[in-house]
A and B are shown apart, each in its own frame.
Chain A
Amino acid sequence: MIELDRLTRRFGGEVAVDDLSLVVGRGELLVLLGGSGSGKTTTLRMINRLIEPTSGTVRLDGVDTATLTPHELRRRIGYVFQRIGLFPHMTIAENVGVTPSLLGWERDRIRKRVDELLELVELDAGAVRDRLPDQLSGGQQQRVGVARALAAEPAILLLDEPFGALDPLTRDRLQESFLRIRRDLGLTAVFVTHDMTEALRLGDRIAVMHAGRLAQVGAPRELLRAPADDVVRQFLETPRRQAELVEGLLGDAGPAPRP
């Protein structure tokens, strides 16, 4: 269980996150949804102390994270980066096995774990494990990114717009894979995105952020039924508006002409 208790973060005079409180239950996937500058990524990074809060507390299963050593805390929390961040001088196997090796796992155990994870993210372990990251496609690289985050068997997974830079087809397939993995492993996860469709598809609950504050939090259905304010309403209407637009275009065009 993750508890964010009155978290605030200032950068100079700017308030990035303002008095935010949230609880993520065990096995739950919470989506942090918001536009650029809404404070969603800052919030995510305060959970594993990549950013220290100006005030407020983060508790994991009741333990205040400020009492833990930062790098040890991070080894227990999987993190998937928006810019993927695979180390270009390490092979795929070394990238996936990096956190277990920091934890001092045996070589054989790491090797087994890496193969298992590559399979989990639907990559051919034999074909990719000794390659370097730049020999893989963007979609394959992010699958590796997810595998790396899961390598040390973390109970918590943090994802920072992990599929944002991928083409729509690849993104669709990765979302599907991720849903299955999450279900299989029963992970507690916080997933940052600005894509409402993605949020609706993946989230158990959605927390909408705006200007550093929490606008509303609830299950997708609750948000759709009773949006708290105009900001939330606008966010929720985007996918519906897009769907209507597509439908309209398809209706006008009719079936594709045949020779």
Chain B
Amino acid sequence: MSALREQLALLPAYLTGHLELSLLAIAIATGASIPLGVLATRVAWLEGPVLAIAGVVQTIPGLALLAAVVPLLAALGFQSIGFLPAIIGLTLYGVLPILRNTVAGIDSVDPALKEAARGVGMTDGQQLRRVELPLAMPVIVAGIRTATVWTVGMATLSTPVGATSLGNYIFAGLQTRNYTAVLVGSVAAAALALVLDGLVHGLESGLRRRRRGMVALALASLVVLYGYTAWSLARDARGARARPIVVGAKTFTEQYVVAEVLAGWIERTTGLPTRVAPSLGSTVAFDALRNGDIDVYVDYTGTLWTTILRRQEPPASREAAIDQIGRFLASQGGMVLVAPLGFENAYALAMRDRDAEARGLRTIGDLARVSAELSMGGDYEFFERPEWRSLERAYGLRFGSRRTMDPSLLYQAVALGNVDAISAYTTDGRIAALHLRVLDDDRHAIPPYDAVILASARLAREHPDAIAALARLQGAIDARAMREANREVDEDGRTPRQVASDIVARIAGATPEPARGD
């Protein structure tokens, strides 16, 4: 019950974010699509290309469309994560159903009525307003309703591009195996879709059947919702000037925990307000830091080494990697590698302890000998990553089959024997909990993965006190502590914030406050 109450406490913020995205996207999509659709019915050569372009946009998977807007905005020099990319992606997605139905609705008006409209003396504009649009309205509204349901559903995918929505429940819930959160997010999104769909339907049906009460009720509800959204957007815009320090997190448990630790630590030691932007895609997080859309987050030296520095050969040592990455970031407009947190979370290959025992497997080299008989599961990016290619090269791995799945499902899949081996993280609490064995990388094919705190150039410029505070976290969390924290979230059902506040309290107890001059 307390788990549910805890989730419901987040509802106002998430629902407001979701409403802002959905209502604004639907309004823009409607406002753009109906005139465009009308134009397409008036200018014969436009109809084909306009519908074709909208149709192509529609075939792009929702998440890919939203993610594609991020680098596009960054290249154009706009704010590339958060509200803007989400609203653009959602609007593009909402255009097709409305556009298509506008064209279809107007085209389907009986030619005898169009002739009658001219015959009684209407101008082109009067014919459109008094005859064609009213007769096409049920079809157009059906398009708006489709767009509404799609947009509300797809708005949950705004979370990975950094916009707050009900998707925050779903993404974080799936990663931390908090199914109460997933359920609350899904039910709320579905309910919102039904309510908005019902209101649009009520408005159209009331207008068509000339029911004043129905129209007034639906209209009043929509006005209240839009009014609230406008007020909330205005408040966000005002708030943007007094911006809190934004802490980013990628999409897995450990990231949620360390982000909360950084946020909690900054607030505790400097009193500056912070906000956590959770569930960012892996490279989205780094780009966001570079653009200053987030101020600080934790990344891993191995990831930075291969995907940001684009180095093929492994670093000479853990220290060398930290040193070279720090210098590279400084050269990129003054980003700062503040400090290593004290633990390493490397990619590793893991399998059930008893399977490994039965086959006598201790190292990845042992695994390579039998890999053709085995199946391998990886998270979304694993098989595309340089580490995987490096492993393949170093050990000659040739698995019988490969499967890609959500990281939250990987450990379950290997524990249940659905796959024989998985890509795992060395700090994951489930390795011990599910009796898995991490195979030894005796040829050092995988680079070191020290967790390091990265800060934006702006944070270094504007809040050196925050940088100084973060520097005191050097070595503050070791691998055992991190694994335990992850396990508490994944297995005990505690929230990242609760676990993080314990860690912050522990660190604060262990490190004395630096002396302040009067």
Which parts of A38-71 form the interface with B (CB within 8 Å)? 48, 50, 71
Report if A193 contacts B (CB, 8 A): no
Report if A191 contacts B (CB, 8 A): no
Are B135 and A148 in contact (CB-based, < 8 A)?
Answer: no
Knowing A87-B131, A88-B135, A89-B134, say if A99 contacts B121 (CB, 8 Å).
Answer: yes
Which parts of A69-90 form the interface with B (CB within 8 Å)? 71-72, 74-75, 79, 81, 83, 85-89
Are B134 and A102 in contact (CB-based, < 8 A)?
Answer: no
Knowing A50-B118, A89-B134, say if A81 contacts B112 (CB, 8 Å).
Answer: yes
From A75, A83, A103, residue with most partner B Cβ within 10 Å: A83
Report if A98 contacts B (CB, 8 A): yes
Give Cα distance in the complex from A244 to B119, angstroms. Answer: 40
Contact among B117, B121, B134, B208 with A72 in the assembled complex (CB-CB below 8 Å) = B121
Chain A nearest CB: distance from B112 CB in Å?
4
Q: Which residues of A contact B118 (CB under 8 A)?
A: 50, 71, 74
Mark interface residues in B113-144 (1 if CB within 8 Å of A CB, else 0): 10111111111001000110011000000000
Q: Which residues of B contact A103 (CB under 8 A)?
A: 121
Knowing A71-B123, A102-B122, A102-B126, say if A81 contacts B116 (CB, 8 Å).
Answer: yes
Give Cα distance in the complex from A259 to B115, angstroms. Answer: 56
Q: Which residues of B contact A87 (CB under 8 A)?
A: 113, 116-117, 130-131, 135
Chain A nearest CB: distance from B264 CB in Å?
61
Give Cα distance in the complex from A71 to B123, angstroms. Answer: 6
Are A75 and B121 in contact (CB-based, < 8 A)?
Answer: yes
Give Cα distance in the complex from A79 to B113, angstroms. Answer: 13
Q: Which residues of A contact B135 (CB under 8 A)?
A: 87-89
Contact among B112, B113, B122 with A71 in the assembled complex (CB-CB below 8 Å) = B122
Chain B nearest CB: distance from A250 CB in Å?
39
Q: Which residues of B contact A86 (CB under 8 A)?
A: 116
Q: Which residues of A contact B122 (CB under 8 A)?
A: 71, 102
Are A79 and B131 in contact (CB-based, < 8 A)?
Answer: no
Contact among B112, B120, B134 with A74 in the assembled complex (CB-CB below 8 Å) = B120
Give Cα distance in the complex from A109 to B130, angstroms. Answer: 21
Give Cα distance in the complex from A81 to B112, angstroms. Answer: 9
From A50, A79, A85, residue with most partner B Cβ within 10 Å: A85
Residue of A nearest to B131 (CB): A87
Give Cα distance in the complex from A99 to B208, angstroms. Answer: 22
Knowing A81-B115, A85-B112, A87-B113, say if A71 contacts B121 (CB, 8 Å).
Answer: yes
Q: Which residues of B contact A75 (CB under 8 A)?
A: 120-121
Q: Which residues of B contact A99 (CB under 8 A)?
A: 120-121
Give Cα distance in the complex from A83 to B126, angstroms. Answer: 21
Q: Which residues of A contact B121 (CB under 8 A)?
A: 71-72, 74-75, 99, 102-103, 152
From B118, B121, B135, residue with most partner A Cβ within 10 Å: B121
Give Cα distance in the complex from A152 to B115, angstroms. Answer: 18
Q: Which residues of A contact B117 (CB under 8 A)?
A: 87
Chain B nearest CB: distance from A2 CB in Å?
17
Are A81 and B126 in contact (CB-based, < 8 A)?
Answer: no
Give Cα distance in the complex from A88 to B115, angstroms. Answer: 14
Knowing A87-B113, A102-B126, say if A81 contacts B131 (CB, 8 Å).
Answer: no
Give Cα distance in the complex from A241 to B437, angstroms. Answer: 105
Chain A nearest CB: distance from B251 CB in Å?
51
Residues of B within 8 A of A (CB): 112-113, 115-123, 126, 130-131, 134-135, 208
Residues of A within 8 A of B (CB): 48, 50, 71-72, 74-75, 79, 81, 83, 85-89, 98-99, 102-103, 148, 152
Q: Which 5 A-B pairs have the closest CB atoms?
A: A85-B116, A75-B121, A74-B121, A79-B119, A83-B112
What 14 additional pairs, Cβ within 8 angstroms, besides A74-B121, A85-B115, A87-B116? Answer: A50-B115, A50-B118, A71-B118, A71-B123, A74-B119, A74-B120, A75-B121, A79-B120, A81-B115, A83-B112, A85-B116, A89-B134, A103-B121, A148-B120
**5 A-B residue contacts at CB 8 Å?**
A48-B119, A81-B119, A87-B117, A89-B208, A103-B121
